[in-house]
């Protein structure tokens, strides 16, 4: 949904036709009806400093589309997709019926199937590699929006990205004639490192389109009618997932819906944002050939809700293959409380350096993830000062911890040494 893009930031742990190449994405061009569109301006210094990668033979199949590793990790100056992110493509946690993400998805499916007589089409295997136009332009993301930046989004090339939100498929589905649908998928965002942030997470959005005959008998206008239907639908969904909880609606702003709302529930003695939603902007419908219609849309982050429903304390656990984690969950069992099994202590290491104008914290986190993967539990700025010469120093504390075993001093020291080397070489900062 259009609004899901914004919801990915405000709800999911808020802080904050392709030019076909002869060696490019030919194998999945049919699922990416790309057209040219200007990408976000990327820093030339950053692009020139990037190391080109030697492609590695590896093929995935997503949504019936074959994707080779060198289709994603391209020798292209605009490409900023690391190996660690490519490794997550194709894992599709939302399609595993015994995984918390899949269990939650199926519970939401059950609600819509039961209450809407199977009217909603379901899509959970759409190709995550989309055009800039699909990801941004089609859902009215402004041309100067920060989300288009190299710092926030994974670019395959200047016109192609790993989807930031499931809304990237909305316009195409509307053009195909779908009027009631749910889209679930893995989405990708360059982000910070802590217990609630991860560069890959999962979203679900819903869209429902109404015709004039739906609201004319109600005596109200289309927008009022659709907004009322939306709230009734989502209040029912919240009760289905959380039980008889107190709820409240909060008026908000999203550029893709008007009016726009957030639903909060009072759960475990505090107010919790569950999702964002609204009445779809008419421009989105108009571009899809639905000039006389009104629609609603909602978007939610599955990790956000799963962590609450299953008492999962660290987002990295969703990616664990440890049987002590995976064996705790069964298909159809929503809300089974996770029993912690890791008592391993974290190890803290600090790194200090003089930053430059191009430095961003997201770039630092990418370097840490490249070295430590999921052993990096948190990266936190602990000191920041500017000297008399105008030079600014940052000191970051990195917490290393495995969810499954004890880390040795030797491997932690090696990780930290590699982080320091890459921080200096890739980010062009001066270590202190």
What local confidence, expressed as pLDDT, does residue 415 receive? 96
Given a cut of 70, whether residue 46 has pLDDT beyond it is no
Given a cut of 80, whether residue 62 has pLDDT beyond it is no
Q: Report pLDDT digits (tens) over 167-197.
A: 999 999 999 999 999 999 999 999 999 999 9
Given a cut of 60, whether residue 147 has pLDDT beyond it is yes
Fold of 347-431: Alpha-Beta Plaits (3.30.70)
Pick the closest to residue 98 from 403, 328, 342 (CA basis): 328
Question: 3-state DSSP call for residue 226?
Answer: helix
Mean pLDDT to the nearest integer, 100-125: 96
Q: Report pLDDT digits (tens) over 293-331.
A: 999 999 999 999 999 999 999 999 999 999 999 999 999
* Spatial separation of the C-alpha atoms in residues 336 and 330, rounded to whole Å: 9
Mean pLDDT to the nearest integer, 97-114: 98
What local confidence, expressed as pLDDT, does residue 58 receive? 59
Cβ atoms of residues 94 and 186 within 8 Å:
yes
Greater confidence, 101 or 71?
A: 101
pTM listed for this prediction: 0.84
Greater confidence, 343 or 416?
A: 416
Greater confidence, 3 or 221?
A: 221
Mean pLDDT to the nearest integer, 14-22: 33
What local confidence, expressed as pLDDT, does residue 77 receive? 92
What local confidence, expressed as pLDDT, does residue 3 receive? 42
What local confidence, expressed as pLDDT, does residue 61 receive? 75
Given a cut of 80, whether residue 42 has pLDDT beyond it is no
Cβ atoms of residues 103 and 111 within 8 Å:
no
Question: 3-state DSSP call for residue 13?
Answer: coil
pLDDT band at 75 (very low <50, low <70, confident <90, very high): confident
Q: Left (φ > 0), alpha (ψ -120 to 50) or beta: where does 35 sit?
A: beta
For the chain, what is the mean pLDDT?
86
Q: Report pLDDT digits (tens) over 251-296.
A: 998 878 999 999 999 988 889 999 999 999 999 999 999 999 999 9
What local confidence, expressed as pLDDT, does residue 344 receive? 87
Residues with Cβ < 8 Å from 164, sequence gap 6 or more? 5, 8, 135, 147, 152, 153, 187, 188, 189
Mean pLDDT to the nearest integer, 21-38: 35
Identify the residue whose tokens are 């991860």: 198
pLDDT band at 63 (very low <50, low <70, confident <90, very high): low
* Spatial separation of the C-alpha atoms in residues 421 and 204, rounded to whole Å: 39
Mean pLDDT to the nearest integer, 24-40: 36
Determine which of 58-72, 188-202, 266-280, 368-382 has the lowest per-residue pLDDT on average.
Answer: 58-72
Fold of 59-327: BirA Bifunctional Protein; domain 2 (3.30.930)
Given a cut of 90, whether residue 49 has pLDDT beyond it is no
Given a cut of 50, whether residue 106 has pLDDT beyond it is yes
Q: Report pLDDT digits (tens) over 117-142.
A: 989 999 999 999 999 999 999 999 99
Name the residue ranges covered by the structural domains of the chain.
59-327, 347-431
* Spatial separation of the C-alpha atoms in residues 367 and 101, rounded to whole Å: 27
Mean pLDDT to the nearest integer, 424-431: 94
In this structure, the dihedral spanned by the alpha carbons of residues 302, 80, 392 and 377, taken in order and rounded to 10 degrees, is 40
């Amino acid at each position: 949904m259009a609004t899901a893009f914004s919801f990915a930031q405000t709800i999911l742990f808020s802080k904050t036709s392709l030019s076909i190449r002869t060696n490019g994405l030919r194998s999945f061009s049919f699922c990416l009806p790309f057209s040219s569109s200007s990408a976000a301006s990327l820093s030339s210094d950053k692009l020139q400093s990037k190391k080109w990668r030697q492609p590695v033979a590896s093929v995935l199949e997503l949504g019936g589309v074959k994707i080779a590793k060198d289709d994603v990790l391209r020798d292209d100056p605009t490409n900023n997709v690391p190996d660690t992110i490519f490794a997550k493509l194709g894992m599709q946690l939302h399609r595993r019926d015994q995984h918390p993400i899949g269990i939650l998805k199926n519970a939401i499916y059950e609600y819509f199937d039961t209450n809407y007589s199977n009217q909603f089409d379901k899509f959970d295997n759409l190709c995550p590699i989309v055009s800039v136009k699909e990801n941004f332009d089609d859902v009215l993301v402004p041309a100067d929006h920060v989300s288009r930046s190299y710092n926030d989004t994974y670019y395959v090339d200047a016109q192609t990205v790993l989807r930031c939100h499931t809304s990237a498929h909305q316009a195409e589905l509307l053009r195909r004639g779908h009027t009631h649908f749910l889209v679930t998928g893995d989405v990708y965002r360059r982000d910070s490192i802590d217990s609630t942030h991860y560069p890959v997470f999962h979203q679900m959005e819903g869209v429902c389109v109404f015709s004039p005959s739906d609201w004319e008998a109600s005596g109200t206008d289309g927008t009022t009618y659709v907004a009322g239907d939306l709230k009734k639908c989502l209040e029912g969904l919240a009760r289905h997932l959380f039980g008889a909880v107190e709820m409240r609606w909060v008026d908000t702003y999203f550029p893709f819906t008007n009016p726009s709302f957030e639903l909060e529930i009072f759960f475990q003695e505090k107010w919790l944002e569950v999702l964002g939603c609204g009445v779809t902007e008419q421009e989105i419908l108009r571009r899809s050939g639905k000039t006389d219609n009104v629609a609603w849309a909602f978007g939610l982050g599955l990790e956000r809700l799963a962590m609450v429903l299953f008492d999962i304390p660290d987002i990295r656990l969703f990616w664990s293959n440890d049987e002590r984690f995976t064996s705790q969950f069964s298909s159809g069992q929503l809300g089974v409380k996770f029993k912690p099994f890791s008592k391993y202590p974290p190890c803290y290491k600090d790194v200090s350096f003089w930053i430059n104008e191009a430095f961003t914290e997201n770039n630092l986190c990418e370097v840490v993830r490249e070295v430590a993967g999921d052993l990096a539990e948190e990266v936190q700025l602990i000191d920041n000062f500017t000297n008399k010469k105008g030079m600014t120093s940052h000191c970051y504390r990195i917490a290393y911890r495995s969810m499954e075993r004890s880390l040795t001093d030797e491997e932690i020291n090696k990780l930290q040494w590699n982080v320091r080397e890459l921080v200096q070489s890739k980010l062009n900062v001066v270590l202190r």
